Amino acid sequence: MSSTGDPVSADQQLIDHAQRHGYVVSVKQLALWRRAGLLPRNTSRSLGRGRGSASVADGEAFGLVVALARLARRGVRPFHLALALFGEGHPVPEETVRGAFGKAVQALGAGLGKEGPEAGEDEEEWAERIADEVVASGQRVRLVPARARRIDEGIARYMRERGVVWPPVELEDLDQNPEPSSMSGGEATAAAVTAVLRGGAAITPQGIGDVLRSMQPAGWGNPGASLAEYTVEDVPDAAQEVFLADGGMSTVPEGDARDILLGLAETAPLGDLRDAWAASGATREWALNLCSRIEAELEAGELGDAAFEWLMSRTLVSGMVLIAEVGDRYWSPADRAVNAVTLLLMRQSFRDLDEKVPGCQWDLLESPAVMPPPLLPFFQSGLTHSE
């Protein structure tokens, strides 16, 4: 403030700049954004000859104040603003960026606690106990959200009306498992909690197969789940490099996933965080757009490219991503940040696998059934044997 109580000249310049772009900003808002590390502080410049000093706004502040005014609304959290600014490419301080990603990760699994195993209780028993407590509280993972179920049912009805056998019998023939199992909502919830608490130690071939089967349309065979379930028998040498003796996945770190993801938020290059943020947003846009396209085809009574892409995506990794995105109706910047850091962990796992098992058929990632198209370039980067 100046000696007369009016806004300092630099703040007034920022307020005027925002107003020229159609936004109303107050001195109080500027102060709040500075305290949150979102807006650089003004500097003082001497006017010389005893005339005192004037306040000068940082050059980057003009673009930031317009972006903040556009993104800010009642109730929005400062760290959400930091994430959004960072994702748009604005010059947010590194400390603020990492702190924002960290807050998002720390909220993951809220309610699971951090007390660790009790005396005489090993980590597996502890994770199972916490998972049981979560399930007993009534929490459930929604395996197939209503929107996806309506699309599945619409496609099945379309096929029946035209006398088309779907899914094709060949799909079931490719499923080697004669007695496939899947998960209930409670079992899926328990598995998710256990994976958060134990990391790679809780990820097994059978568990991967169970998840894939639980999220597929009813009555389908699932060759992808079968491949996961029989990995150890089919490719024992490669399986030894990927899975531990007790079944856990060696390419995903053991331990509390929140700690693992927090470590990435604190140490990953900012460029990698921004790439993961962009990949996360593009994947969500792909999933929701695919839903809208297939719904339009069903409404028109003529299935086309969208239906083909949907059916190709439903049983493998693409299907898991698709269902997760469709089921998450209220997607906050914190959700996107957690998703982004998780993508970094997955890419790190791919790179580890690429080093351990040269000759992996990475070209299969290019199938829409295996990997959503927006994630393909993100995961392919750094795979030295991908050629």
Please determine, for residue 6, whether its predicted confidence score (pLDDT) is greater than 70: no
Question: What is residue 63's predicted lDDT score, i.e. its pLDDT?
Answer: 92
Residue 3 has pLDDT above 50, yes or no: no
% of the chain with per-residue pLDDT over 90: 39
The two most distant CA atoms of the chain are separated, in Å, by 92
| pLDDT tens column, 126-172 | 888 888 888 888 877 788 899 999 999 999 999 999 998 888 787 77
Q: Quick check: helix, strand or coil at residue 43?
A: strand
pLDDT-derived band of residue 2, with 50, 70 and 90 as boundaries?
A: very low
Q: Tell me the residue type at 116.
A: G
Count of positions (residues) in the chain: 387
Q: What is the pTM of this model?
A: 0.86
Instruction: State yes or no: pLDDT of 306 exceeds 90.
Output: yes
Residue 225: predicted pLDDT:
84
> For residues 343 and 321, what is the distance between their CA atoms, to the nearest angstrom?
11
State yes or no: pLDDT of 124 exceeds 90: no
Amino acid in position 281: G
> pLDDT class for 188, splitting at 50, 70, 90?
confident
Q: How confident is the model at residue 367 (pLDDT cuts 50, 70, 90)?
A: confident
Average pLDDT value over all residues in the chain: 85
Which one, of 108, 148, 89, lies nearest residue 274 by Cα? 89
Q: Tell me if 217 sits within 8 A of 322, measured CB to CB.
A: no
Task: Count CB-CB contacts under 10 A for residue 106.
Answer: 17
Expressed in percent and rounded to 5, the helix, strand and coil fractions of the chain are 60, 5, 35
Which residues, listed in sequence order, are joined to residue 54 by a DSSP beta bridge? 45
Residues 240 and 367: their CA atoms lie apart, in Å, by 26
Residue 51: predicted pLDDT: 53
Residue 289 pLDDT more than 50?
A: yes
DSSP state of 5: S
pLDDT of residue 223: 82
Sign of CA dihedral 51, 55, 59, 65: negative
Lowest mean pLDDT among 136-150, 227-241, 257-271, 288-302: 227-241
DSSP 273-340: HHHHHHHHHHHHHHHHHHHHHHHHHHHHT---HHHHHHHHHSSSHHHHHHHHHHH--S--HHHHHHHH
Element at 46 (helix H, strand E): strand 43-46
- Nearest Cα to 383, choosing from 344, 354, 346? 354
Q: Which of 42-46, 78-82, 213-217, 320-324 has the lowest mean pLDDT?
A: 42-46
- Unique residue bearing structure tokens 């962009």: 278
Nearest CA among 247, 215, 209 for reference residue 229: 209
Convert 156-190 to b/e letters by CB count within 10 Å (16 or more is b). bebbeeeeeebbeeeeeeebebeebebbeebbbbb
Nearest CA to 109 out of 133, 86, 143 is that of 133
Has residue 38 got a pLDDT over 60? yes
